[in-house]
Amino acid sequence: MLDTTFTVIDLEWNSALPGSKAPTRERDMMFEIIEIGAIRLSSRLDVTGAFHSNVRPVLYRRMHRHIAKLTGRTEQSLRSGDRFPVVYRQMLDFIGEKAILASWGHSDPEVLKSNIEYFQLEKPTSWLALDLQQLFSTLAEDTSSKDQRSVEYALDFLNLPKDLPFHEALSDARYAARIFQATLAPFKASCDKSAVSIYMEKIRPFLYDPWVNRQYTQTVTLTKTDEPLDVLKKTAFACPACDNKLKIIHKPLTSGWRIVKKGRTWFALGRCVTHGRCEILAKRNGTKEKSYLSVRVRIPR
């Protein structure tokens, strides 16, 4: 742990315009990174460096109006910066080989992963990820609430200054780093252990491997005579991470499937021998004449 550093990252990204024709490989990269901000912290949570760069997009080169409104960025700004592969290599040099990548929620690591895969770049598999949003809710608020607290809410809760603009990558990374420091500060002098040991003890339950595929969707076509629940019982589902067949967990007096909304939505739990519990959610879509089941399989966090 002594040689482990933390890097708090924040990403801004763009997406396809409403109604526009999707690029051929759009599914590989739904969101394209246009800005990266990062704050590096030592194992004792002292700030040791900052990184910022705009990224010039190759797919979504027109600014989505919702993103423009949220970030205040103009379409002209998309013409500045280097392409992602260049900025990514610079970011790797800044972060280092052994690091914990901290972010507010888990969206940023997922978008980073999709951009890396789209450009066929090497993943730094030695990195672990840390969800600061969950860490804050559990340790600072002392709650297991599933509410997704905003950065601004956490700053107010911890009485931290709001002296930087919001929705700018470097500023938001600084804010998230301050929340990280303030959340763990009360535990620093709580016992005779070193601060580094205490910090690692507190964050360990919130660490995860960001490179593991945690979710996929599949479509099951239905005929006019098909009963969706019967089809689901006969369909095999796989673990998103390793593709091994899932075993449906049967509850007493049930087939393992639960009706969430009659005729529309069903839910079941599956188990992978390697990655544990998986959640399977099926929704019926389409028309009465031509319908299908949209199924999402995911490993819960």
pLDDT in tens, 210-223: 988 888 888 888 98
Q: Which residue, among 284, 228, 225, has the nearest Cα to 257 in the 3D structure?
A: 228
The residue ranking higher by pLDDT, 265 or 253, is 265
How far apart are alpha carbons 101 and 13 in whole angstroms? 18
Pair 64, 99 in one domain: yes
Residue 21 confidence (pLDDT) above 80:
no
Instruction: Select from 208, 227, 261 the last residue of a domain.
Output: 208
Report the C-alpha dihedral over residues 238, 239, 244, 245, rounded to 10 degrees.
Answer: -40
DSSP strand pairing (5-14 vs 99-103): parallel
Mean pLDDT of 24-37: 78
For 64, the 3-state DSSP assignment is coil
Distance CA 118, CA 105 (A): 22
182, 220: one domain: no
Q: What is the pLDDT of residue 101?
A: 96
Tell me: do 272 and 127 sit in the same domain. Answer: no
Residue 251 pLDDT > 60? yes
Residue 291 has what pLDDT?
Answer: 85
Residue 154 DSSP symbol: H
Residues 18/24/26/29 CA torsion (nearest 10 deg): -150
Domain boundary among 159, 188, 208: 208
Q: Which of 164, 190, 208 is the last residue of a domain?
A: 208
Provide the percentage of residues in the chain whose pLDDT is more than 90.
55
Do 27 and 44 touch, CB atoms closer than 8 A? no
Tokens 């969430």 label which residue? 260
Cα 186 to chain centroid distance, Å, stands at 27
Domain extent for 175: 5-208
Cα 37 to its chain centre, rounded Å, is 16
Tell me what percent of the residues of the chain surpass a pLDDT of 70: 90
Burial-class residue 79 by CB neighbours within 10 Å (0-12, 13-18, 19+): exposed
Among the listed residues 58, 56, 78, the one whose alpha carbon sits nearest the alpha carbon of residue 67? 78
Question: Scanning the structure block, which residue is given the tokens 């945690």?
Answer: 214
Q: Where are the alpha helices (DSSP H) in 17-161?
A: 65-71, 84-95, 107-118, 132-135, 151-157
Same domain, 138 and 222: no
User: Do 172 and 68 belong together in one domain?
Assistant: yes
Indicate the pLDDT class of residue 118, thresholds 50, 70 and 90: very high
**Same domain flag for 221 and 91:** no
Other Cβ atoms within 10 Å of 221 Cβ, number: 11
CB of 298 closer than 8 Å to CB of 289: no
Strand order across the 128-131 sheet: 47-54, 32-41, 5-14, 99-103, 128-131, 207-208
Stronger pLDDT, 297 or 255, i.e. the higher one:
297
Pair (103, 221) in one structural domain: no
How many Å apart are CA 34 and CA 13, to the nearest integer? 5
162 lies in the same domain as 227? no
Residue from 218, 148, 202, 192 nearest 6 by CA:
202
181-205: per-residue pLDDT in tens? 999 998 876 555 677 888 888 999 8
Which pLDDT value is given to residue 28? Answer: 62
Mean pLDDT of the chain: 87
Residues 154 and 30 in one domain: yes
Q: Of the candidates 210, 270, 228, which has an alpha carbon nearest to the alpha carbon of residue 246?
A: 270
pLDDT at 197: 84
Specify whether the CB–CB gap between 242 and 248 falls below 8 A.
no
For residue 112, what are the contacts with CB-CB under 8 A and spacing of at least 6? 9, 11, 33, 210
User: Domains in the chain: how many in total?
Assistant: 2
Residue 17 shares a structural domain with residue 153: yes
β-strand pairing of 257-261 with 247-248: unpaired
